Amino acid sequence: MRWLMGLVVLVALAQPAGAAEQELELQVDGRTMLATLRTPAPMTPDTPLVVMTHGTLAHKDMEIIQDVAKALEQRGIASLAHTLSLGLDRRKGMYDCATRHDYVVDDAVAEIGDWVAKARGMSRFVVTLGHSRGGNQVARYLAASEAPPVAGAVLLAPVTAKADADLRASYAQTYGKPLGPLLEKATKAVAAGRGGEWMDAPGFIYCRNAVVTARAFVSFYGADAGQDTAALAARLKLPVLVLAATKDAVVPDVIASFTPLADSSGGRVQLATIEDADHFFRDLFAEDVADRIAEFIKQAR
């Protein structure tokens, strides 16, 4: 059973115009998870707060997360950007490919829920945001509950079913060995109750020559309807904003994937495009993202 031991404020740094930045720790199942809370001035229980989840093997301090969080603060919106533990204690920075991999999709779902629970102690109006694979993980978290404890969701260049399938299909070309035999070996180990068994893989996610547990390999490469972020969003009852970059080379089919849903949802799912932005919405494109989020929050309140 997951349980929370508390939220510890490590650092509070004064920001311009009375804004604040706090480094937070959350103790869960013997691991310490890290987050950054950015709040505008004044910060009250009515101030909107966005819980931000990063993309694959990334972290809370990556450029896109920081830039969007700072832009939101300038618009009077607080943010709580957290780093997924990926099975590690006090994880910082990008996941080191030399480190063994032992984590599954549902780990992220549970951790998002932990941070949302804390966010609700600070604000009456909480919105979840996920970038890239984080968008899929946010959608999984929301779809797992009949009544999610948030007011809405922002999916920023979310992973699509096609993008995920393309990644699996290109495994042999990328790593020099076919995926099938490796996945079969891992699947059999999991079925036999040996999910924690270590495997040497020519590649795992973005890491070459990786050491990975069978359960982690199956979780990432096995057949999973939950990889279809648009299908998950279709099941939700709350407002959803999908932001697509017109020059996204990482997930190039966000617009094609979500247009049918946006057209048929009666306005519950909004699809907006950021012209000329790439997958990471660099530089001033973060301001465009924040503008869209601020308008979405205004509509949802």
- Tens-digit pLDDT profile for residues 42-81: 999 999 999 999 999 999 999 999 999 999 999 999 999 9
Given a cut of 70, whether residue 18 has pLDDT beyond it is no
Reference 297, options 75, 53, 68, 142; nearest CA is 75
Torsion sign over Cα 201, 189, 197, 100? positive
Side chain identity, residue 292: R
Tokens read off for 169: 């299909």
Q: What is the pLDDT of residue 240?
A: 98
Per residue in 136-161, pLDDT tens? 999 999 999 988 999 999 999 999 99
Given a cut of 90, whether residue 11 has pLDDT beyond it is no
Distance of CA 83 to the CA centre of its chain: 9
Say which range, 8-12, 53-57, 119-123, 262-266, has the weakest mean pLDDT. 8-12
Domain boundaries, the chain: 4-160+228-300, 161-225
Per residue in 224-252, pLDDT tens? 999 999 999 999 999 999 999 999 999 99
Mean local confidence (pLDDT), 78-86: 98
Classified as helix, coil or strand, 202 is: strand
Could you give the C-alpha distances from 254 to 74, 154, 293, in angstroms and in order? Answer: 28, 13, 17
Given a cut of 90, whether residue 215 has pLDDT beyond it is yes
Given a cut of 50, whether residue 27 has pLDDT beyond it is yes
- Neighbour count for residue 218 (Cβ, 10 Å): 22
Given a cut of 60, whether residue 31 has pLDDT beyond it is yes
Given a cut of 60, whether residue 7 has pLDDT beyond it is no
Task: Report the CATH fold assignment for 4-160+228-300.
Answer: Rossmann fold (3.40.50)
Tokens read off for 118: 């804390």
Given a cut of 80, whether residue 3 has pLDDT beyond it is no
Given a cut of 60, whether residue 17 has pLDDT beyond it is no
Q: Grade residue 2 by pLDDT with cuts at 50, 70 and 90.
A: very low
